[in-house]
């Protein structure tokens, strides 16, 4: 049960709105980092990759500010009920966003190696498709957060399954390329780490969606969603 009414102490509203706008800023930067890092890979654009790596500092700095502000609100305002859930959720969401930023930065780092290598046909486009899907999920998760829309957050949670499927397919594909020609191994190892990292981003976005459900309903959603990453059980055929 969440109240849309204003606090009698209006400074409390300003504090909570301030932290949440930091989250939105972080979210915008992370979305850009995901798309740009994938684009830098497809276009072999080292300049863009360098830009993504540099921009991660801003994301890290914002996470720190979110945590400081959250600690301040807890100390000074002793938030309870939905206010408490808001503060707890911003702390967790900023952590999830920061990790996504790190993965995007890592993708950009690998781009500068991969520009010098011959990539298997179509692989960078598959990576970008996966990155776009995760970015779209993140966008919806953040919209769900802003609008306190638990139903939208639930759809985001379910969509993580698609990302897992894409990762499974890429995993198989890279294995095949490596078996075909050992000269593919360096590129495919890097591409595989990239795919794995994007899959992990999907998990962080799912966690953000779960925080939205918690924020709105007061309950962490049950584990009732499809799990698609089966590569942990993959063995040579």
Site residues (vs other proteins, CB under 8 A):
1-3, 5-9, 12, 78-85, 218-219
Tokens of 139: 């966008």
Q: How far is the CB of 220 from other proteins (least distance, A)?
A: 11
Which residue number, 145 or 214, has a Cβ lying nearer to other proteins? 214
Q: How far apart are CA 232 and CA 96, in angstroms?
A: 23
Q: How far apart are CA 181 and CA 191, in angstroms?
A: 15
Smallest Cα–Cα separation from 111: which of 42, 188, 206? 42
Q: How far is the CB of 68 from other proteins (least distance, A)?
A: 22
* 8 A C-beta contact, residue 121 and residue 177: no
Smallest Cα–Cα separation from 93: which of 164, 11, 147, 22? 22
Which residue number, 5 or 223, has a Cβ lying nearer to other proteins? 5
Using the structure block, give the residue that is written with the tokens 């990453």: 229
Q: How far apart are CA 31 and CA 25, in angstroms?
A: 10
Q: How far is the CB of 205 from other proteins (least distance, A)?
A: 24
Q: How far is the CB of 3 from other proteins (least distance, A)?
A: 5
Which residue number, 3 or 232, has a Cβ lying nearer to other proteins? 3
Q: How far is the CB of 75 from other proteins (least distance, A)?
A: 13
Which residue number, 37 or 82, has a Cβ lying nearer to other proteins? 82
Using the structure block, give the residue that is written with the tokens 């807890």: 74
Which residue number, 126 or 217, has a Cβ lying nearer to other proteins? 217
Smallest Cα–Cα separation from 148: which of 216, 92, 94? 216
């Amino acid at each position: 049960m969440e109240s849309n009414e204003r606090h009698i102490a209006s400074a409390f509203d300003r504090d909570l709105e301030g932290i949440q706008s930091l989250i939105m800023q972080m979210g915008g930067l992370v979305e850009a980092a995901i798309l740009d890092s994938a684009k830098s890979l497809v276009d072999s654009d080292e300049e863009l990759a360098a830009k993504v790596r540099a921009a991660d500092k801003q994301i890290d700095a914002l996470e720190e500010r979110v945590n400081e502000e959250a600690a301040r609100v807890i100390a000074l305002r002793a938030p309870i009920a939905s206010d408490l859930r808001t503060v707890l959720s911003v702390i967790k969401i900023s952590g999830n966003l920061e990790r996504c930023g790190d993965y995007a930065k890592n993708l950009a780092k690998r781009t500068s190696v991969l520009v010098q290598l011959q990539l298997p046909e179509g692989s960078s486009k598959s990576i970008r498709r996966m990155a776009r899907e995760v970015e779209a999920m993140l966008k919806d998760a953040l919209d769900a957060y802003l609008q306190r829309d638990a139903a939208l957050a639930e759809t985001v949670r379910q969509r993580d399954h698609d990302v897992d499927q894409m990762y499974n397919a890429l995993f198989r594909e890279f294995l095949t390329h490596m078996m075909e020609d050992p000269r593919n191994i360096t590129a495919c190892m890097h591409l595989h780490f990239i795919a794995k990292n994007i899959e992990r981003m999907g998990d962080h976005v799912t966690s953000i969606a779960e925080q939205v459900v918690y924020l709105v309903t007061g309950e962490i959603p049950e584990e009732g969603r499809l799990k698609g990453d089966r590569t942990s059980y993959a063995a040579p055929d």
